[in-house]
Amino acid sequence: MEAVKTQDIGVNDLNWIIEYKPERCTMCGSCVASCSFGAIKAAVRRQDITVSEENTPAPVHKHSARPVIKQVASLTNFCRGCGICQKVCPNNAIMPRRNPDARRTLLSRDSGPIKRGGRTNLNAERTLDKIVVGRISQMTDPSLDAARHTFDIRAPFGRVLGTKELPFAVENGKLTVKGKKPPVRWIYPLIFSDMSIGALSTRAWEAVAMAVGCLNEKYDIPVRMSSGEGGMPAKLLTSEYLKYFIIQIASGHFGWNRIIQAMPYMKTDPAGILIKIGQGAKPGDGGLLQKEKVAEHIGAIRGVPRATLASPPNHQGLYSIEESVQKMHLSMNAAFGFRVPVAIKCAASSTSVSVYNNLLRDPYKICGGFFIDGIQGGTGAANEISLDHTGHPVVSKIRDCYLAAAKQGLTGQIPLYGGGGIGMTGNAAADAFKMICLGANGVFVGKILIQLLGCVGNEQGRCNACNTGKCPMGICTQNPRLVKRLDVDKGAQKIVDYVLAFDAELKKLMAPIGNSSLPVGRSDALVSTDANIANKLGIGYVC
Protein backbone atom coordinates (compact mmCIF):
# COMPACT_ATOMS: atom_id res chain seq x y z
CA MET A 1 0.00 0.00 0.00
CA GLU A 2 1.30 3.43 -0.92
CA ALA A 3 2.26 5.70 1.99
CA VAL A 4 -0.11 8.51 2.91
CA LYS A 5 0.87 11.69 1.06
CA THR A 6 0.72 14.09 3.96
CA GLN A 7 2.27 16.96 2.00
CA ASP A 8 -0.27 16.83 -0.81
CA ILE A 9 -3.08 19.37 -0.93
CA GLY A 10 -6.44 18.29 0.44
CA VAL A 11 -9.81 20.01 0.20
CA ASN A 12 -9.68 20.93 3.89
CA ASP A 13 -6.44 22.86 3.28
CA LEU A 14 -8.19 25.38 1.00
CA ASN A 15 -9.91 28.62 1.99
CA TRP A 16 -13.27 27.50 0.62
CA ILE A 17 -15.02 24.12 0.71
CA ILE A 18 -17.76 23.20 -1.75
CA GLU A 19 -20.80 22.04 0.19
CA TYR A 20 -22.60 19.57 -2.09
CA LYS A 21 -25.93 17.77 -1.56
CA PRO A 22 -26.12 14.87 -4.01
CA GLU A 23 -29.75 14.05 -3.16
CA ARG A 24 -30.79 17.41 -4.66
CA CYS A 25 -28.50 17.35 -7.68
CA THR A 26 -29.94 16.50 -11.12
CA MET A 27 -26.49 16.56 -12.80
CA CYS A 28 -27.52 19.33 -15.19
CA GLY A 29 -23.87 20.48 -15.36
CA SER A 30 -24.63 24.18 -14.92
CA CYS A 31 -22.28 24.61 -11.97
CA VAL A 32 -19.33 22.92 -13.67
CA ALA A 33 -19.88 24.92 -16.85
CA SER A 34 -20.15 28.24 -15.02
CA CYS A 35 -17.10 27.85 -12.73
CA SER A 36 -14.40 29.95 -14.38
CA PHE A 37 -11.71 28.66 -12.01
CA GLY A 38 -12.22 24.97 -12.74
CA ALA A 39 -12.66 24.35 -9.01
CA ILE A 40 -15.31 21.64 -9.45
CA LYS A 41 -15.64 18.71 -11.80
CA ALA A 42 -18.00 15.86 -12.61
CA ALA A 43 -16.88 12.59 -11.05
CA VAL A 44 -18.22 9.18 -10.11
CA ARG A 45 -18.76 7.97 -6.57
CA ARG A 46 -19.11 4.30 -5.69
CA GLN A 47 -21.73 3.47 -3.12
CA ASP A 48 -22.25 0.19 -1.29
CA ILE A 49 -25.58 -0.35 0.43
CA THR A 50 -27.42 -3.26 2.04
CA VAL A 51 -31.15 -3.23 1.34
CA SER A 52 -34.13 -5.51 1.83
CA GLU A 53 -37.00 -5.21 -0.67
CA GLU A 54 -39.04 -8.25 0.43
CA ASN A 55 -41.84 -8.46 2.96
CA THR A 56 -39.57 -10.47 5.21
CA PRO A 57 -35.93 -9.58 5.89
CA ALA A 58 -33.85 -10.60 2.88
CA PRO A 59 -30.82 -8.33 2.89
CA VAL A 60 -29.06 -7.86 -0.41
CA HIS A 61 -25.72 -6.06 -0.77
CA LYS A 62 -25.75 -3.76 -3.79
CA HIS A 63 -22.99 -1.80 -5.49
CA SER A 64 -23.76 1.32 -7.49
CA ALA A 65 -21.79 4.05 -9.20
CA ARG A 66 -23.47 7.42 -9.35
CA PRO A 67 -22.32 10.70 -10.90
CA VAL A 68 -21.54 13.53 -8.46
CA ILE A 69 -19.91 16.95 -8.40
CA LYS A 70 -16.45 16.90 -6.77
CA GLN A 71 -14.21 19.74 -5.61
CA VAL A 72 -10.73 20.00 -7.12
CA ALA A 73 -7.95 20.02 -4.51
CA SER A 74 -5.32 22.21 -6.13
CA LEU A 75 -3.49 25.47 -5.52
CA THR A 76 -4.09 26.51 -9.11
CA ASN A 77 -7.74 25.49 -9.57
CA PHE A 78 -9.08 26.26 -6.12
CA CYS A 79 -12.44 27.72 -5.14
CA ARG A 80 -12.44 31.48 -4.52
CA GLY A 81 -15.90 31.51 -2.93
CA CYS A 82 -17.57 33.57 -5.67
CA GLY A 83 -20.81 31.60 -5.31
CA ILE A 84 -21.64 31.50 -9.04
CA CYS A 85 -22.28 27.74 -8.75
CA GLN A 86 -24.99 28.42 -6.18
CA LYS A 87 -26.57 31.09 -8.36
CA VAL A 88 -26.90 28.85 -11.44
CA CYS A 89 -27.97 25.69 -9.61
CA PRO A 90 -31.75 25.20 -10.05
CA ASN A 91 -32.02 22.97 -6.97
CA ASN A 92 -29.79 24.75 -4.46
CA ALA A 93 -27.60 21.63 -4.30
CA ILE A 94 -24.20 23.33 -4.15
CA MET A 95 -22.60 26.31 -2.44
CA PRO A 96 -19.15 27.45 -1.21
CA ARG A 97 -18.45 27.59 2.53
CA ARG A 98 -15.52 29.36 4.16
CA ASN A 99 -13.09 26.93 5.78
CA PRO A 100 -11.85 28.04 9.24
CA ASP A 101 -9.10 25.40 9.16
CA ALA A 102 -7.61 26.55 5.85
CA ARG A 103 -3.82 26.65 5.65
CA ARG A 104 -2.76 30.00 4.21
CA THR A 105 -1.06 29.84 0.84
CA LEU A 106 2.61 30.83 0.92
CA LEU A 107 3.58 29.92 -2.62
CA SER A 108 1.42 30.42 -5.66
CA ARG A 109 2.51 27.26 -7.41
CA ASP A 110 1.36 23.72 -6.93
CA SER A 111 4.50 22.59 -5.12
CA GLY A 112 3.98 25.21 -2.46
CA PRO A 113 3.08 24.78 1.20
CA ILE A 114 0.27 26.29 3.07
CA LYS A 115 -0.37 27.55 6.59
CA ARG A 116 2.04 27.94 9.45
CA GLY A 117 2.36 25.24 12.06
CA GLY A 118 2.11 25.87 15.75
CA ARG A 119 -0.13 28.38 17.42
CA THR A 120 -0.39 31.77 19.09
CA ASN A 121 -3.56 32.89 20.78
CA LEU A 122 -3.29 36.05 22.84
CA ASN A 123 -0.27 37.40 20.98
CA ALA A 124 -1.48 36.91 17.41
CA GLU A 125 -1.58 40.70 16.81
CA ARG A 126 1.86 41.66 15.54
CA THR A 127 3.83 44.88 15.52
CA LEU A 128 5.37 44.04 12.14
CA ASP A 129 1.95 44.08 10.49
CA LYS A 130 1.57 47.77 11.42
CA ILE A 131 4.88 48.76 9.83
CA VAL A 132 5.26 49.46 6.11
CA VAL A 133 8.05 50.63 3.84
CA GLY A 134 7.39 54.35 3.60
CA ARG A 135 10.49 55.90 2.03
CA ILE A 136 10.66 55.09 -1.67
CA SER A 137 13.54 56.38 -3.82
CA GLN A 138 12.03 58.01 -6.90
CA MET A 139 13.56 61.05 -8.61
CA THR A 140 16.66 62.53 -7.00
CA ASP A 141 17.58 59.30 -5.23
CA PRO A 142 17.14 56.52 -7.84
CA SER A 143 15.90 53.12 -6.87
CA LEU A 144 17.32 49.87 -8.25
CA ASP A 145 16.09 47.25 -10.67
CA ALA A 146 15.31 44.22 -8.50
CA ALA A 147 15.46 41.83 -11.45
CA ARG A 148 18.77 42.93 -13.01
CA HIS A 149 20.79 44.68 -10.32
CA THR A 150 23.46 42.82 -8.33
CA PHE A 151 22.71 42.61 -4.62
CA ASP A 152 25.06 41.74 -1.77
CA ILE A 153 22.80 39.95 0.68
CA ARG A 154 25.24 38.83 3.34
CA ALA A 155 25.29 39.24 7.12
CA PRO A 156 28.17 38.78 9.57
CA PHE A 157 28.20 35.92 12.08
CA GLY A 158 31.09 36.53 14.47
CA ARG A 159 32.59 39.39 16.47
CA VAL A 160 33.27 42.44 14.29
CA LEU A 161 36.06 44.62 15.67
CA GLY A 162 35.88 48.40 15.76
CA THR A 163 38.16 50.41 13.49
CA LYS A 164 40.56 51.22 16.34
CA GLU A 165 40.76 47.57 17.39
CA LEU A 166 41.68 46.03 14.05
CA PRO A 167 45.01 44.15 14.25
CA PHE A 168 46.57 46.08 11.37
CA ALA A 169 49.70 48.17 11.18
CA VAL A 170 51.50 50.10 8.45
CA GLU A 171 55.13 49.08 8.00
CA ASN A 172 57.27 50.45 5.19
CA GLY A 173 54.18 51.73 3.47
CA LYS A 174 52.45 48.32 3.56
CA LEU A 175 49.47 47.17 5.58
CA THR A 176 50.41 44.17 7.73
CA VAL A 177 48.48 42.03 10.20
CA LYS A 178 49.58 42.23 13.81
CA GLY A 179 47.93 39.72 16.12
CA LYS A 180 44.70 37.77 15.67
CA LYS A 181 41.16 38.81 14.94
CA PRO A 182 37.96 36.97 15.93
CA PRO A 183 36.48 34.61 13.30
CA VAL A 184 33.68 36.05 11.18
CA ARG A 185 31.47 34.12 8.74
CA TRP A 186 29.48 35.96 6.07
CA ILE A 187 26.17 34.16 5.81
CA TYR A 188 22.68 34.64 4.43
CA PRO A 189 20.45 36.72 6.76
CA LEU A 190 18.01 33.80 7.13
CA ILE A 191 18.98 31.09 9.62
CA PHE A 192 17.02 27.89 10.13
CA SER A 193 16.34 27.95 13.85
CA ASP A 194 17.18 25.24 16.34
CA MET A 195 14.81 22.27 16.27
CA SER A 196 16.48 19.12 17.49
CA ILE A 197 16.53 15.57 16.29
CA GLY A 198 14.00 14.29 18.76
CA ALA A 199 11.70 17.27 18.62
CA LEU A 200 11.53 16.65 14.87
CA SER A 201 11.49 13.22 13.32
CA THR A 202 14.73 12.07 11.75
CA ARG A 203 13.18 12.38 8.29
CA ALA A 204 11.95 15.94 8.97
CA TRP A 205 15.38 16.99 10.26
CA GLU A 206 16.97 15.33 7.25
CA ALA A 207 14.67 17.25 4.88
CA VAL A 208 15.71 20.59 6.42
CA ALA A 209 19.39 19.58 6.29
CA MET A 210 19.07 18.53 2.63
CA ALA A 211 17.53 21.91 1.81
CA VAL A 212 20.47 23.67 3.46
CA GLY A 213 22.94 21.64 1.40
CA CYS A 214 21.05 22.33 -1.84
CA LEU A 215 20.79 26.08 -1.19
CA ASN A 216 24.52 26.32 -0.51
CA GLU A 217 25.83 23.96 -3.16
CA LYS A 218 23.46 24.64 -6.05
CA TYR A 219 22.18 28.20 -5.55
CA ASP A 220 25.10 29.77 -3.65
CA ILE A 221 22.78 31.02 -0.90
CA PRO A 222 24.76 30.53 2.34
CA VAL A 223 21.87 29.61 4.62
CA ARG A 224 22.91 28.13 7.96
CA MET A 225 21.00 25.70 10.18
CA SER A 226 21.14 25.36 13.95
CA SER A 227 21.22 21.78 15.18
CA GLY A 228 19.08 22.35 18.26
CA GLU A 229 19.81 20.73 21.59
CA GLY A 230 20.42 17.01 21.36
CA GLY A 231 23.46 16.48 19.18
CA MET A 232 23.85 15.59 15.53
CA PRO A 233 24.29 12.39 13.50
CA ALA A 234 27.88 11.09 13.60
CA LYS A 235 28.10 10.94 9.80
CA LEU A 236 27.19 14.61 9.52
CA LEU A 237 29.70 15.61 12.19
CA THR A 238 32.50 14.04 10.15
CA SER A 239 31.33 15.25 6.73
CA GLU A 240 32.15 18.33 4.66
CA TYR A 241 28.59 19.58 5.18
CA LEU A 242 29.27 20.39 8.83
CA LYS A 243 30.37 23.85 7.67
CA TYR A 244 26.70 24.70 7.04
CA PHE A 245 25.58 23.88 10.59
CA ILE A 246 25.56 25.85 13.83
CA ILE A 247 25.98 23.42 16.72
CA GLN A 248 23.86 24.33 19.70
CA ILE A 249 24.71 23.74 23.34
CA ALA A 250 21.78 24.15 25.70
CA SER A 251 21.27 23.69 29.41
CA GLY A 252 20.75 19.92 29.12
CA HIS A 253 24.04 19.39 27.23
CA PHE A 254 22.38 16.47 25.45
CA GLY A 255 24.43 14.91 22.66
CA TRP A 256 27.67 16.71 23.47
CA ASN A 257 29.56 13.54 24.33
CA ARG A 258 29.17 12.44 20.73
CA ILE A 259 30.18 15.87 19.42
CA ILE A 260 33.33 15.91 21.55
CA GLN A 261 34.23 12.39 20.44
CA ALA A 262 33.82 13.45 16.80
CA MET A 263 36.08 16.51 17.06
CA PRO A 264 39.32 14.73 16.08
CA TYR A 265 37.59 13.37 12.97
CA MET A 266 35.89 16.57 11.78
CA LYS A 267 36.93 17.41 8.22
CA THR A 268 35.82 21.02 8.62
CA ASP A 269 34.79 23.41 11.35
CA PRO A 270 31.08 24.04 12.00
CA ALA A 271 29.58 27.37 10.98
CA GLY A 272 29.38 28.36 14.62
CA ILE A 273 28.39 27.47 18.16
CA LEU A 274 25.12 28.72 19.65
CA ILE A 275 24.75 28.75 23.43
CA LYS A 276 21.03 28.71 24.22
CA ILE A 277 20.14 30.47 27.45
CA GLY A 278 16.43 30.86 26.66
CA GLN A 279 13.85 30.68 23.89
CA GLY A 280 10.69 32.53 22.96
CA ALA A 281 8.26 29.63 23.39
CA LYS A 282 9.01 29.14 27.07
CA PRO A 283 11.44 31.76 28.40
CA GLY A 284 12.85 30.99 31.81
CA ASP A 285 11.62 27.40 31.56
CA GLY A 286 13.55 24.30 30.56
CA GLY A 287 12.74 22.12 27.57
CA LEU A 288 10.97 18.79 27.85
CA LEU A 289 11.12 15.86 25.43
CA GLN A 290 8.49 13.26 26.26
CA LYS A 291 9.47 9.62 26.66
CA GLU A 292 7.23 8.78 23.69
CA LYS A 293 9.60 10.71 21.40
CA VAL A 294 12.85 9.26 22.79
CA ALA A 295 13.24 6.43 20.30
CA GLU A 296 16.28 4.15 20.30
CA HIS A 297 18.25 6.26 17.83
CA ILE A 298 17.38 9.46 19.72
CA GLY A 299 18.67 7.94 22.94
CA ALA A 300 21.87 6.90 21.16
CA ILE A 301 22.51 10.41 19.78
CA ARG A 302 21.78 12.06 23.13
CA GLY A 303 23.50 9.39 25.21
CA VAL A 304 20.49 8.78 27.44
CA PRO A 305 18.08 5.92 28.23
CA ARG A 306 14.47 5.90 27.06
CA ALA A 307 12.96 8.36 29.51
CA THR A 308 11.38 11.81 29.57
CA LEU A 309 14.23 14.29 29.13
CA ALA A 310 14.04 17.58 30.99
CA SER A 311 16.48 20.43 30.37
CA PRO A 312 17.17 22.77 33.31
CA PRO A 313 15.74 26.31 32.99
CA ASN A 314 19.28 27.70 32.91
CA HIS A 315 22.87 26.58 32.59
CA GLN A 316 23.87 25.09 35.91
CA GLY A 317 26.90 26.71 37.50
CA LEU A 318 26.56 30.03 35.63
CA TYR A 319 25.27 32.90 37.71
CA SER A 320 26.10 36.01 35.69
CA ILE A 321 26.68 37.18 32.14
CA GLU A 322 30.33 37.90 32.93
CA GLU A 323 30.82 34.37 34.22
CA SER A 324 29.15 32.84 31.19
CA VAL A 325 31.49 34.86 28.94
CA GLN A 326 34.52 33.64 30.83
CA LYS A 327 33.50 30.00 31.16
CA MET A 328 31.31 29.09 28.26
CA HIS A 329 32.33 31.44 25.48
CA LEU A 330 36.00 30.97 26.23
CA SER A 331 35.77 27.19 26.50
CA MET A 332 33.76 26.84 23.29
CA ASN A 333 36.16 29.11 21.41
CA ALA A 334 39.15 27.22 22.78
CA ALA A 335 37.61 23.85 21.87
CA PHE A 336 37.72 24.78 18.19
CA GLY A 337 40.99 26.66 18.32
CA PHE A 338 39.34 30.11 18.24
CA ARG A 339 38.39 29.46 14.60
CA VAL A 340 34.59 29.25 15.11
CA PRO A 341 32.28 32.13 16.14
CA VAL A 342 30.30 31.52 19.32
CA ALA A 343 26.93 33.23 19.82
CA ILE A 344 24.37 33.37 22.60
CA LYS A 345 20.58 32.99 22.34
CA CYS A 346 18.18 34.53 24.86
CA ALA A 347 14.46 35.04 25.13
CA ALA A 348 13.16 38.55 24.54
CA SER A 349 12.53 40.16 27.91
CA SER A 350 13.20 43.31 29.93
CA THR A 351 16.74 42.06 30.53
CA SER A 352 17.66 41.67 26.84
CA VAL A 353 19.42 45.04 26.60
CA SER A 354 21.34 44.43 29.85
CA VAL A 355 22.62 41.11 28.52
CA TYR A 356 23.59 42.70 25.20
CA ASN A 357 25.43 45.56 26.92
CA ASN A 358 27.45 43.07 28.97
CA LEU A 359 28.35 41.14 25.84
CA LEU A 360 29.42 44.34 24.08
CA ARG A 361 31.83 45.06 26.92
CA ASP A 362 33.33 41.58 26.73
CA PRO A 363 37.10 42.16 27.08
CA TYR A 364 37.90 38.97 25.18
CA LYS A 365 36.05 40.13 22.03
CA ILE A 366 34.82 36.58 21.42
CA CYS A 367 31.01 36.81 21.48
CA GLY A 368 30.03 36.31 17.86
CA GLY A 369 26.33 37.11 17.91
CA PHE A 370 23.23 37.79 19.99
CA PHE A 371 20.05 35.89 19.08
CA ILE A 372 16.78 37.21 20.56
CA ASP A 373 13.69 34.98 20.43
CA GLY A 374 10.28 36.66 20.85
CA ILE A 375 7.07 35.52 22.49
CA GLN A 376 5.44 34.62 19.18
CA GLY A 377 7.90 31.80 18.62
CA GLY A 378 7.11 28.19 19.45
CA THR A 379 5.16 25.26 18.05
CA GLY A 380 2.41 23.07 19.40
CA ALA A 381 4.94 21.45 21.74
CA ALA A 382 5.12 24.46 24.07
CA ASN A 383 2.81 25.03 27.02
CA GLU A 384 -0.03 27.43 26.34
CA ILE A 385 0.57 29.34 29.57
CA SER A 386 4.14 30.04 28.45
CA LEU A 387 3.20 30.90 24.87
CA ASP A 388 0.56 33.38 25.96
CA HIS A 389 1.94 34.97 29.09
CA THR A 390 5.76 34.97 29.23
CA GLY A 391 8.26 36.95 27.21
CA HIS A 392 8.20 40.00 24.97
CA PRO A 393 7.58 40.60 21.26
CA VAL A 394 10.93 40.60 19.49
CA VAL A 395 10.64 43.82 17.46
CA SER A 396 11.15 46.37 20.24
CA LYS A 397 13.91 44.28 21.86
CA ILE A 398 15.92 44.23 18.62
CA ARG A 399 15.43 47.96 18.28
CA ASP A 400 16.42 48.64 21.90
CA CYS A 401 19.61 46.59 21.57
CA TYR A 402 20.55 48.29 18.31
CA LEU A 403 20.05 51.76 19.80
CA ALA A 404 21.99 50.78 22.93
CA ALA A 405 24.96 49.79 20.77
CA ALA A 406 24.62 52.98 18.71
CA LYS A 407 24.78 55.16 21.84
CA GLN A 408 28.06 53.51 22.79
CA GLY A 409 29.55 53.71 19.30
CA LEU A 410 29.59 49.90 19.07
CA THR A 411 27.03 49.40 16.30
CA GLY A 412 27.44 46.14 14.42
CA GLN A 413 30.22 44.74 16.58
CA ILE A 414 28.02 41.91 17.88
CA PRO A 415 25.54 40.94 15.13
CA LEU A 416 21.88 40.88 16.13
CA TYR A 417 19.51 38.16 14.96
CA GLY A 418 15.79 38.16 15.77
CA GLY A 419 13.16 35.42 15.68
CA GLY A 420 9.77 34.51 17.05
CA GLY A 421 6.83 34.93 14.69
CA ILE A 422 8.86 35.80 11.58
CA GLY A 423 6.65 34.94 8.61
CA MET A 424 3.71 34.19 10.89
CA THR A 425 1.20 35.89 8.59
CA GLY A 426 2.70 34.43 5.44
CA ASN A 427 5.55 36.65 4.28
CA ALA A 428 8.89 36.11 6.00
CA ALA A 429 10.76 38.33 3.51
CA ALA A 430 8.75 41.41 4.47
CA ASP A 431 9.20 40.64 8.17
CA ALA A 432 12.94 40.11 7.72
CA PHE A 433 13.32 43.36 5.80
CA LYS A 434 11.55 45.35 8.54
CA MET A 435 13.62 43.67 11.25
CA ILE A 436 16.84 44.49 9.39
CA CYS A 437 15.82 48.12 8.95
CA LEU A 438 15.21 48.29 12.70
CA GLY A 439 18.72 47.05 13.47
CA ALA A 440 18.87 43.27 13.07
CA ASN A 441 21.55 41.69 10.88
CA GLY A 442 19.27 38.80 10.08
CA VAL A 443 16.41 36.59 11.28
CA PHE A 444 15.91 32.98 12.22
CA VAL A 445 12.79 30.92 11.48
CA GLY A 446 11.49 27.60 12.76
CA LYS A 447 7.72 27.25 12.42
CA ILE A 448 7.86 28.03 8.71
CA LEU A 449 10.04 24.96 8.22
CA ILE A 450 7.56 22.53 9.76
CA GLN A 451 4.80 24.34 7.90
CA LEU A 452 6.62 23.71 4.64
CA LEU A 453 6.92 20.05 5.57
CA GLY A 454 3.13 19.81 5.91
CA CYS A 455 2.19 20.80 9.48
CA VAL A 456 -1.55 21.47 9.83
CA GLY A 457 -1.57 23.06 13.30
CA ASN A 458 -3.34 26.41 13.57
CA GLU A 459 -4.74 29.01 15.94
CA GLN A 460 -8.19 27.37 15.96
CA GLY A 461 -6.81 24.40 17.90
CA ARG A 462 -6.34 22.08 14.95
CA CYS A 463 -3.83 19.33 15.85
CA ASN A 464 -1.06 21.12 17.85
CA ALA A 465 0.05 17.84 19.42
CA CYS A 466 3.77 18.18 18.68
CA ASN A 467 4.69 17.02 22.17
CA THR A 468 2.76 13.74 22.12
CA GLY A 469 4.79 11.81 19.58
CA LYS A 470 1.63 11.20 17.54
CA CYS A 471 2.12 13.79 14.78
CA PRO A 472 -0.09 12.58 11.89
CA MET A 473 2.17 14.27 9.34
CA GLY A 474 5.32 12.43 10.44
CA ILE A 475 7.09 15.69 11.35
CA CYS A 476 7.19 15.70 15.17
CA THR A 477 7.13 12.00 15.95
CA GLN A 478 9.47 9.04 16.14
CA ASN A 479 6.75 6.45 15.42
CA PRO A 480 8.09 4.51 12.39
CA ARG A 481 4.62 4.09 10.90
CA LEU A 482 3.91 7.81 11.07
CA VAL A 483 7.40 8.96 10.06
CA LYS A 484 7.07 7.09 6.75
CA ARG A 485 4.32 9.47 5.74
CA LEU A 486 6.81 12.31 5.27
CA ASP A 487 8.38 12.62 1.82
CA VAL A 488 11.92 13.84 2.54
CA ASP A 489 12.75 14.93 -1.02
CA LYS A 490 9.48 16.78 -1.48
CA GLY A 491 9.84 18.49 1.89
CA ALA A 492 13.39 19.62 1.09
CA GLN A 493 12.29 20.94 -2.30
CA LYS A 494 9.51 22.99 -0.71
CA ILE A 495 11.97 24.61 1.68
CA VAL A 496 14.34 25.39 -1.19
CA ASP A 497 11.50 26.91 -3.21
CA TYR A 498 10.47 29.07 -0.28
CA VAL A 499 13.98 30.42 0.30
CA LEU A 500 14.33 31.23 -3.39
CA ALA A 501 11.05 33.15 -3.20
CA PHE A 502 12.29 34.80 0.02
CA ASP A 503 15.47 35.92 -1.77
CA ALA A 504 13.55 37.39 -4.69
CA GLU A 505 11.11 39.22 -2.45
CA LEU A 506 13.87 40.60 -0.23
CA LYS A 507 15.48 42.15 -3.33
CA LYS A 508 12.09 43.56 -4.31
CA LEU A 509 12.01 45.43 -1.00
CA MET A 510 15.67 46.52 -1.03
CA ALA A 511 15.49 47.93 -4.54
CA PRO A 512 12.86 50.66 -3.98
CA ILE A 513 14.82 52.22 -1.10
CA GLY A 514 18.00 52.19 -3.20
CA ASN A 515 19.99 49.62 -1.19
CA SER A 516 22.08 46.94 -2.88
CA SER A 517 23.32 45.63 0.50
CA LEU A 518 21.36 44.88 3.65
CA PRO A 519 19.78 48.10 5.03
CA VAL A 520 20.79 47.41 8.65
CA GLY A 521 19.45 50.20 10.88
CA ARG A 522 17.78 52.13 8.06
CA SER A 523 14.73 52.96 10.14
CA ASP A 524 14.11 56.00 7.91
CA ALA A 525 12.77 53.55 5.31
CA LEU A 526 9.93 52.49 7.62
CA VAL A 527 6.74 54.13 8.85
CA SER A 528 3.97 52.87 11.10
CA THR A 529 0.22 53.23 10.98
CA ASP A 530 0.15 53.10 14.78
CA ALA A 531 1.31 56.20 16.65
CA ASN A 532 2.43 54.26 19.74
CA ILE A 533 4.55 51.88 17.67
CA ALA A 534 6.06 54.77 15.74
CA ASN A 535 6.94 56.55 18.97
CA LYS A 536 8.44 53.44 20.59
CA LEU A 537 10.59 52.45 17.60
CA GLY A 538 11.53 55.99 16.58
CA ILE A 539 10.07 55.81 13.07
CA GLY A 540 7.60 57.96 11.15
CA TYR A 541 3.87 57.87 11.75
CA VAL A 542 1.41 57.88 8.84
CA CYS A 543 -2.34 57.63 8.66
What per-residue confidence (pLDDT) applies to 5? 67
pLDDT in tens, 334-389: 889 999 999 999 999 999 999 999 999 888 888 999 999 999 888 777 777 888 88
CA 395 to chain centre: 16
CA distance 519 to 513: 9
Identify the H or E element spanning 95: strand 94-98
Q: What is the pLDDT of residue 332?
A: 85
Give the integer Cα–Cα distance in Å for 68 and 308: 50
pTM for the predicted model, two decimal places: 0.87
Q: What domains are there in the chain, each with its CATH number?
A: 11-112 (3.30.70), 129-152+183-541 (3.20.20.70)
pLDDT of residue 119: 58
Q: What is the model's pLDDT at position 341?
A: 95
Positive/negative CA dihedral, 183, 187, 191, 192: negative
185, β-bridge pairs: 157
Q: Which pairs with CB-CB distance under 8 Å and at least 24 residues apart come from 81-90? A: 81/15, 81/16, 82/37, 84/34, 84/35, 84/36, 85/18, 85/31, 85/34, 85/35, 85/40, 87/34, 88/30, 88/31, 88/34, 89/30, 89/31, 90/26, 90/28, 90/30
| pLDDT tens per residue, range 120-144 | 656 678 899 999 999 999 888 889 9
Residue 118: the pLDDT is 56
Cα atoms found within 13 Å of the Cα of residue 141, Cβ hemisphere only: 9
pLDDT at residue 168, rounded to an integer? 86
CA–CA gap between residue 275 and residue 331 (Å, rounded): 12
The predicted structure's pLDDT at residue 3: 54
Low-confidence ranges of the chain (pLDDT < 70): 1-5, 104-123, 317, 460-461
The DSSP code for 539 is -
C-alpha angle 513-518-522 in degrees, rounded to nearest 5 = 55
Q: Specify whether the CB–CB gap between 373 and 394 falls below 8 A.
A: yes
